[in-house]
Each structure stands twice: as structure tokens, then as C-alpha cells.
């Protein structure tokens, strides 16, 4: 049977708002059934639907309805903020279905914002270096990828961008390339209207976003493959 997503429950965001106010294990346990029904299970359905659709169209992203979700419990061991719960739910789909890979899809449903992203987030130094070298050594390929994203209504973000050129790239002067080699991540985002999370059409919206973001995935994947073979 094909996977099905019917949207997040109508009480999904009100639940997160109330949880953020109470920040109490007792309150959470009393309302766990609502969390499961309106947030956790729908997010699992969304993971299943997208994994199935990505597989059918040759996009190397997949997830597990339980393991791909991030815990709503916060890790407070090394944080001054001791609130036990987050104000959002989120999940990641990756090439092998784990949270440890690069070139991933991420979805976040929360109080402050709802969004999705396709990302190469904090690549390990060898991969990041290879990406920077590819930008400089094959600028036409990089610019073609950027142009394809632009045509699809997307743009690589500058979040976390270095203020100065990384070592070895000081001589890069062309503005677009100089900015690109300062990136520590390569990410495109898609904002989700909060009201849309309750619609089954959200799965179509997110699938279309990933389809439009595929040039970034393919660009990074080709570089990653060369690093793995070296």
C-alpha cells in the first residue's frame, strides 16, 4: 500500500505553544497522546511519503518514520538553557537514511517558523575543501548550478559565511566566486506557510522543492564521489 500523508493535526502548533509555556514533563506525559496524534505520527507519514516519492524519481534521499525524527527533548547537559523540550518537531532524509550523511533534506515545523531545506551542512574539512576547489577550478559548472537554482526560484544562503577568504583562496577576486568559497554550508531553504502544514498537499509542496533544489544535491554529490575515491 502506498504511503499516505493527511497533514499535521489542527492542534499541532497549539500543542507546541502550550508545551513551550509549561516546559513540564508532567504536562507532556498528560498530553502525549495529542503529541503522537497531531505531530509525531503525521511527521512519520510525511517521511514515508517523501521517501517513497524520492525513490520513484531517482532522488537519493530516504528516511525512517521513527529514526529520522529528532527528539522533542532537548539535550541540556552543556546548555545554560535548561528547558527540557523544544518548540518544534523536525526530521532529516539522507542518502542512507541516517542523520550522519551530507546532501540532505530537512523539514522543521515549529512556533517561530516552518521551513524545509536541502543542505550540505558543515561538511567535513576534506569535502568542504573539495567544494571550494571545485568552485575555483570549475567556475562554469558552479555557475551553471547556481543559474539552475535561480531558474527554479532558489538561492544558496549565506548563513555562517566567513568574513574573510579561507586560507589558500585569498587570490579569488570574482565577487560571486569569492563569496561562494567563504561559505561553510551550501543550503537552499523553502519557507512553509504555517497553515499549509495541515494540508495533504504539503507533501507535494516539499517534493517539488527538493526537485527544484536537485542541482545543488547533484553538484555536491559529484564532488563527494571524487573525495571518496581519492
Tell me how many degrees the CA angle 64-69-90 measures, rounded to the nearest 5. 135
Task: Write down the H helix ranges in the chain.
Answer: 12-22, 25-30, 32-35, 41-56, 125-137, 139-151, 175-181, 202-229
pTM: 0.95
Is residue 158 a contact partner of residue 183, using CB atoms and an 8 Å limit? yes
Per-residue pLDDT of the chain (230 residues; tens, 9 = 90+): 678 999 999 999 999 999 999 999 999 999 999 999 999 999 999 999 999 999 999 999 999 999 999 999 988 787 788 889 999 999 999 999 999 999 999 999 999 999 999 999 999 999 999 999 999 999 999 999 999 999 999 999 999 999 999 999 999 999 999 999 999 999 999 999 999 999 999 999 999 999 999 999 999 999 998 887 76
Structural domains in the chain, sorted by start = 12-229 (3.30.930)
Amino acid at each position: 500500500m502506498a504511503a499516505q500523508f493527511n497533514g499535521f493535526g489542527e492542534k499541532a502548533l497549539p500543542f507546541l505553544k502550550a508545551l513551550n509555556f509549561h516546559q513540564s514533563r508532567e504536562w507532556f506525559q498528560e498530553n502525549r497522546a495529542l503529541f503522537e496524534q497531531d505531530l509525531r505520527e503525521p511527521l512519520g507519514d510525511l517521511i514515508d511519503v517523501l521517501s517513497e516519492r524520492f525513490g520513484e524519481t531517482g532522488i537519493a534521499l530516504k528516511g525512517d518514520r521513527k529514526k529520522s525524527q529528532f527528539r522533542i527533548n532537548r539535550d541540556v547537559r552543556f546548555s545554560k538553557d535548561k528547558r527540557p523540550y523544544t518548540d518544534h518537531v523536525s526530521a532529516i532524509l539522507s542518502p542512507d537514511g541516517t542523520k550522519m550523511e551530507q546532501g540532505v533534506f530537512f523539514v522543521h515545523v515549529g512556533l517561530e517558523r516552518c521551513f524545509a531545506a536541502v543542505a550540505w551542512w558543515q561538511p567535513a574539512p576534506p569535502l568542504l575543501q573539495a567544494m571550494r576547489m571545485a568552485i575555483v577550478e570549475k567556475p562554469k559548472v558552479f555557475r551553471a548550478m547556481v543559474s539552475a537554482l535561480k531558474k527554479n526560484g532558489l538561492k544558496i544562503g549565506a548563513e555562517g559565511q566567513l568574513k574573510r577568504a579561507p586560507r589558500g583562496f585569498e587570490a579569488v577576486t570574482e565577487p560571486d566566486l569569492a563569496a561562494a568559497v567563504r561559505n561553510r554550508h551550501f543550503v537552499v531553504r523553502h519557507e512553509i506557510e504555517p497553515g499549509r502544514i495541515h494540508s495533504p498537499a504539503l507533501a507535494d509542496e516539499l517534493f517539488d522543492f527538493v526537485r527544484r533544489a536537485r542541482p545543488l544535491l547533484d553538484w555536491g554529490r559529484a564532488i563527494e564521489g571524487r573525495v571518496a575515491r581519492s
